[in-house]
Structure 1
């Protein structure tokens, strides 16, 4: 009797009928290898009731679950089940005759996964395989594709170890083995599960093997594969294709080398979790040590939720302590925001995380730990019903909390690669608005990684200016001082290096002439492209240029370099450079889809961001924020709108926005008709402020009505 795949949906009987017709067209089981049987040759789009996630999926799925019935004989010995999956975010259960074989791997990548079928699971006659999302009252619809299901007579250990590969990853410069990430594709470019398990030097997931020693031995079913080796953002990517036959054992060597010039900067991931201590995700603390070494992170901060963990003993145990310097931290996880803190003294008490406002929480952090770094995490994400920088709580264009809570943290994530945004510019704009408000806040890139391979450690990272010659002995105090001063660059696939008169991020340049020369370099490995670089002054874009690929005159690791000459501004400003490029589709470094999307459409991007470089244009020897200039003007004009508009004519849009806010607080109207008769920059600044303020009022009214 042929296997009959059936797509079931209470709401979409037409799709179910179509799937049933397709099933009837299957004339019988097809075999690809002796002892294997194709139960379903197709791929199916599944989704429970609700709106689709992404516009790349059809509006209407095939069904909400997949059911396959097939005839078989009972077996007392283990068999194995292979299937294809794609874009799995929620929990999907795979059952055979009511027995759970396992769950689909939560991963957006296309992959082939395997499940053991215990002896006694199959029965004589009709058998039923079901794949369905685990649902509850608040289940989130999850568009997935699944299918190409094969039942193999052999046990899983035999199926996945039909051939053997001995792989070594060498440093292309000194020839020594190097910690690395290994990615395995089949001939279609789909991740292939390997016959290996995590051990003292390997961390293994479907299609991905991390090695701390540069060597890995693993099995694969016979076939054609391409294997990639890399070591995070700074290194090249090597690959090799090969074919293996049943029973064959082969040896291969891949060579990678450092390409991105980051000398004098330490690669830091400020947001690192483990299953062991956070209780969710899949990376044990032992696996985490291996992945940190293999992704080239030199200063990892342990930030499990509301605990303070020292990773140094685990790094020594795994023999990777020479590759990085672990730092004790804590993700203080509260109802009104998540804050990463570090370094935390080993004997410090854990801060009370039950506070309900920022002043109390941040005071508690300082009292308990005196941590010099406090970072606001994923400010645009919703947790415990609170979105810290959502319009109900935060007036973004002026960088102000609507409850009057001071911004007493000194860092904020502008990229969290485990919780990316639909609009990657939004958090960058939020950060620059904080600078305009007068807050001293360092931009942060982090991974928020809880997993071995899904959202991997170090994809988002922060480069801190600090001696990096001995990764296992980083001067943590020096790194913290640099971080607090803003001497950083943020990377999510690229770096943007900004200098003026030899000074860079976190520093101040006193303007002396009529013009300022701004030098920028865009950095990245060969496997990442850059297509645009931009320059912002007080959060407003003032220059941009397209970047063409293939300029062989540039040094390795440099995508673009150039100089922009800008007029000296009439007041102090901060400069920020941002470089952009297309997202990475390859599963060796795939850019993740948004964590809490605001649209079904999404354009994957990589970027690099400099820290802020300040220009002391008024020559008073200090940094003066847009807010301070606005306060001075508002005090001088004493509510006289025509005088305010006249004074603002010499100032930039950021100062106009701050002045519009202060004018409204003093009883004025940001939409006064006299504003409309002013110059374009003034009209634009007042309009931007009014639109943002109106959004906050609408959001607060909606929240109050709920």
Structure 2
């Protein structure tokens, strides 16, 4: 039953339940009208701590028990309820008979469970919802309620009315693979049936169609339908009501609005339940969802297998829409790495190796492989958090166990495993660049599902020929990616251009006078950008707030444009632009909560990032990293601390952090009186860099005892 610390609230809750039971005692289960078991949502919690700040401090209880009156059901009926934010297993039973479980899905959705004939009793009935998670699992705050019991079976409920939808391209008239989202009037995903079954991928309130057509079957009522095709396309929203036995048609059009010509839409992290063994998307459903989200270069990265998606896409007639690539998520106990492209028939790399050196040896020996991506570096898998403070100092990209960092790319946004701190992985990536590692930033989805985590929501745009999505040169695209010629998107894009022509991955030669930097923020009008930031060597140097102005004169898909003039730098550096925007709470493209949260506080955000543009300030024809400058300062000083700080004059905090690291490696105490006095006289960026390294090193030491 409900447990609460407030006796008044307890009495109020019990009184409410009594009224519900009293109302239900007069109810007779009929096909036309349901028995209302609960008319509101209830907050339950498994575990002792609050999962998210959006929930009240105290839950109503750890289980929900609702009494209601009904008549015996001679045929199968339906239990219908609303659930929100479910991450653990919650069991549902009626009169001590299991009906099933809540769907593990954070979305706001309607769940329908069958009530076998004879389950309902004449008179009093008891519905119980309780968590089945293990005691040591993290807490789960959920909302569940708005419960009703129907005499009809689920199939009967869903076939009261019909809605035929056709989705076409506004410019070409061609039918478009797309995503259809159906919600109640107040935003909950509502389950529907869809035909043809072999041309659709269906989950509660979500239908992907392989060819732009779907026939939906659903109960009579009021709904909202959304139709879209991922990040590059417009979104149609339409409210409608439908009556019992009514059949309606909706002919809707989408337009490609985000100008990504010359860039290939790639999701480097794609799974199916068929080949990874978890999640809910079959490989056939995955093909349909990829086409429906507009991904042009999907990489098959099931765990420790190498799957060719081409035969599945071909059987579904989808090879015009994307070019499948064979990859592998090499899943070791010490980290996960996505690799591609892989030659057909190539032997699997050994994922049982115990360290990164052996893992990279195995990966690099795999025929065809060009791209090696470090996945979700801040998440714990098999007890290892690769970029956690126990193993890694992110400020200077130091691997404390001596593991080699031989990847050439890393995920900076994984939309299926987002971070509590939105920019954390971006800071880690910029730290690698400062160390001198040429690592490309990657956006991906890591989707194993049809709708819980949306495929292609996080994605990477690779500079290349995208005119024929079904005929992309995967090897050429991989080379372009390794060269850093990318844009990362999670609902937005920050397209950075330096000196009018140099973009991600390029080397900018010396300029006379100021350095001209321009950024375009790209995105559909259903995503709202808020803040644009420009970084140099990982330090924020410029920013602009974006105030939404939906004027019709704006170029479609271009949300904002900004130009800055920078003083000619005295030393080499890299520039990158990052844009953040509002998160999306609506069901059509909901931005997910963190996979492994580090705090109950979380701000939903969308994100876009350019690749790095490298500035050759000294004119030697190459880019020099902050680490190399730091090493030169140490060599030139010959160990004399005043000379070290003299050499840091005019440098940035990235160089200062690496100097601090090198001094510590030389067994110099960074808290000594000499260092403290010299740092106090140094420029603010120098002090900031030293302090940032000292704090990161302190965290490294603390982590060794945790």
TM-score bracket relative to the smaller structure: over 0.9
For residues 438-453 of structure 1, what are the structure 2 equivalents within 5 Å? 438-453=436-451
Aligned to 2:660: 660
> Aligned in 2, Cα 1:387/1:232: closer, same or farther, shift over 3 Å?
same
Does 464-473 or 370-379 show the bigger shift? 370-379
**How far apart are 1:660 and its partner, in Å?**
1.0
Match of 1:186 in 2: 184
Report the Cα distance in structure 1 between the residues aligned to 2:196 and 2:2, rounded to whole angstroms. Answer: 37
Per-residue deviation at 1:13? Answer: 8.4
Pairing partner for 1:99 from 97, 102, 111: 97
SS in 2 for 1:397: coil
Alpha-carbon distance in structure 1 between the residues aligned to 2:13 and 2:355: 53
Kindly report the root-mean-square deviation, in angstroms, between the aligned alpha carbons of the 2 structures: 1.7
SS in structure 1 opposite 2:517? strand
Q: Distance in 1 between matches of 2:13 and 2:348?
A: 55
2:684 paired residue among 656, 680, 684: 680
- The match for 1:531 is 530
**CA shift for structure 1 position 138:** 2.0
Paired residues of 2:192 and 2:217 also in contact (CA < 8 A): yes
Return the offset for 1:654: 0.8
Partner Cα distance (1:204, 1:198) in 2: 11
More off after superposition, 13-22 vs 293-302: 13-22
Question: In terms of mean alpha carbon deviation, does 410-419 or 166-175 score higher?
Answer: 166-175
Paired position in structure 1 for 2:294: 296
Say whether residues 1:567 and 2:602 are aligned partners: no
Contact 1:645 1:678 in 2 (8 A): yes
Q: Which residue of 1 aligns with 2:544?
A: 545
CA contact (8 A) 2:670 2:676 kept: no
Q: 2:173 aligns with which of 172, 175, 188?
A: 175
Distance 1:570 1:81 in 2: 69
Query: Which residue matches 2:15?
Result: 21
Deviation digits for residues 427-462 of structure 1 (CA, Å, limit 9, x no counterpart):
000000000000010000000001000101000000
SS, match of residue 561 in structure 1: strand
- The Cα shift of 1:16 comes to 5.6
SS at match of 1:165: strand
- Could you tell me which residue of structure 1 aligns to residue 381 of structure 2? 383
Partners of 2:598 and 2:366 lie apart in 1 by 37
CA deviation string 1:403-432 (max 9, x = no partner)? 122210011000000010111111000000
TM-score, structure 2 as length reference: 0.96
Query: 1:113-192 residue pairs with structure 2 within 5 A?
Result: 113-192=111-190
Say if 1:67 and 1:128, in contact at 8 Å, map to a contact too. Answer: yes
Question: What SS does the corresponding residue of 2:578 show, helix, strand or coil?
Answer: strand
Contact 2:220 2:243 in 1 (8 A): yes
Conserved 8 A contact 1:197-1:203: no
Greater shift in the superposed pair: 603-612 or 554-563: 554-563
- Cα–Cα, structure 1 residues 13 and 303, in superposed 2: closer, same or farther, change >3 Å? farther
- CA positional deviation for 1:96: 1.9
The structure 2 residue matched to 1:250, chosen from 225, 248, 251, is 248
8 Å CA contact retained: 2:88, 2:133:
no
User: Does the CA-based 8 Å contact 1:35-1:154 persist in structure 2?
Assistant: no
Alignment counterpart, residue 69 of structure 1, candidates 63, 67, 70? 67
Q: Distance in 2 between matches of 1:691 and 1:192?
A: 49
CA distance in structure 1 between the aligned counterparts of 2:703 and 2:79, rounded to whole angstroms: 50
Deviations 1:331-381 (A, max 9, x none): 111111111111111111111111121111111122244521110000011
- The 10-residue stretch of structure 1 (26-35 or 233-242) with the greater mean CA deviation from structure 2: 26-35
Distance 1:124 1:451 in 2: 40
Q: Which of 684, 697, 705 is residue 693 of structure 1 equivalent to? A: 697
Q: 1:512 and 1:522 mapped to 2: Cα distance?
A: 25
| Residue of 230, 233, 242 corresponding to 1:232 | 230
Shift of 1:158: 1.0
1:576 partnered with 2:576: yes
Q: Could you tell me how far apart the structure 1 residues matched to 2:616 and 2:339 are? A: 31
Unaligned runs of 5+ in 1: 1-6
- Cα pair 2:201 2:207 within 8 Å, conserved: yes
- 1:62-88 deviations in whole A, cap 9, x for unaligned? 111112233333333111111111111
Q: 3-state SS of the aligned residue for 1:655?
A: helix
More off after superposition, 671-680 vs 295-304: 671-680
Corresponding residue of 1:204: 202
Deviation of 1:15 after TM superposition, in Å, equals 6.3
Secondary structure in 2 matching 1:191? coil
TM-superposition CA deviations, 1:174-213 (whole Å, max 9, x none): 1221011001121112211113378211000001110011
Q: CA deviation at 1:110?
A: 1.5
Matching residue within 393, 413, 420 for 1:422: 420
- Partner of 1:353, secondary structure, is coil
Contact kept in structure 2, 1:198 and 1:287, CA below 8 Å:
no
CA distance in 2, matches of 1:475, 1:67: 58
The CA deviation at 1:17 is 5.1
Please name the residue that 1:3 is paired with. Answer: none
CA offset at residue 122 of structure 1? Answer: 2.4
Instruction: Give, in whole Å, the separation in 1 of the partners of 2:31 and 2:534.
Output: 58
Judged with a 3 Å threshold, the aligned counterparts in structure 2 of structure 1 residues 272 and 71 are, in CA distance, closer, same or farther, namely same
Decide which moves more: 289-298 or 678-687: 678-687
Task: Note if contact 1:12-1:63 (Cα within 8 Å) is conserved in structure 2.
Answer: no
Whole-Å separation in 2 of the counterparts to 1:617 and 1:49: 56
Q: Following the alignment from structure 1 to structure 2, what is the Cα–Cα distance between the partners of residues 320 and 446? A: 21
Answer yes or no: is the 8 Å Cα contact 2:17–2:67 preserved in 1.
Answer: no
Q: CA deviation at 1:127?
A: 2.8
The Cα shift of 1:145 comes to 0.6
- How do residues 131-530 of structure 1 correspond to structure 2 at under 5 angstroms? 131-196=129-194, 199-369=197-367, 371-501=369-499, 502-530=501-529
Quick check: 2:267–2:459 contact (8 Å CA) kept in 1? yes
Give the paired residue count: 696
Distance in 2 between residues matched to 1:437 and 1:366, nearest whole Å: 22
After TM superposition, give the deviation of residue 25 of structure 1 in Å. Answer: 2.5
Q: 2:645 — aligned with what? A: 645
Who is 2:83 aligned against?
85
CA distance in 2, matches of 1:367, 1:137: 43
Shift of 1:684: 1.3
SS in 2 for 1:192: coil
Distance in 1 of aligned mates of 2:257 and 2:544: 24
Deviations 1:624-654 (A, max 9, x none): 1110111111111121110000010021111
Deviation at 1:606, TM superposition (A): 0.7
Query: Does the 8 Å CA contact 1:239/1:254 hold for their aligned counterparts?
Result: no
Q: CA deviation at 1:512?
A: 2.3
Superposition deviation, residue 49 in structure 1: 2.9
Q: CA offsets, 1:104-125, max 9 Å, x none?
A: 1222221222112122322444
Check the 8 A contact 1:351/1:369 in 2, yes or no.
Answer: no
Contact 1:670 1:687 in 2 (8 A): no
1:156 Cα offset (Å)? 1.1
Q: Does 1:614 align with 2:595?
A: no
* Distance in 2 between residues matched to 1:95 and 1:11, nearest whole Å: 26
Could you say what secondary structure the match of 2:354 adopts? Answer: coil
Asked if structure 2 preserves the Cα contact closer than 8 Å seen for 1:197 and 1:204, the reply is: no
